[in-house]
Amino acid sequence: MVYSVIHDVTQWLLMFIGFCVVLWSIGNSYFSRERGRVMEVGMPADCSAYNRAAVILLLIELEDGKIEKAEMSPCAACMEKIKTGDVVTLIRSADRVIAQKGVSWCL
């Protein structure tokens, strides 16, 4: 009886935490207030060149006209086919600015 109650409470707590993490991730990714267009990609658009880089540096023009340097993982840059003119959202994390290409209907 006690084991069953503890098991149920633990299961519901873990599901609630997982739900909160998913909501936080969606909110961070798709409802970011900082959006901009890619002005320059720091590496060529050849995916084989991305494999040798730790991060891809991007130059982003924000909606308010400011220029911001951001970085993107090489895997995301290759899979998302990032190119000049694409709309990206920016996520600030400690001392880094990370660019992420969102779903088109959210931008």
Together in a domain, 24 and 43: no
Together in a domain, 47 and 84: yes
Residues 65-105 have pLDDT tens digits of: 899 899 888 777 777 678 888 888 888 877 888 888 765 54
Domain span at 24: 1-31
Residues 18-36 have pLDDT tens digits of: 999 888 877 766 666 688 8
Is the model's pTM score more than 0.85? no
CB-count exposure of residue 82 (10 Å: 0-12, 13-18, 19+): buried
Share of the chain above pLDDT 90, in %: 18
Domain count, the chain: 2
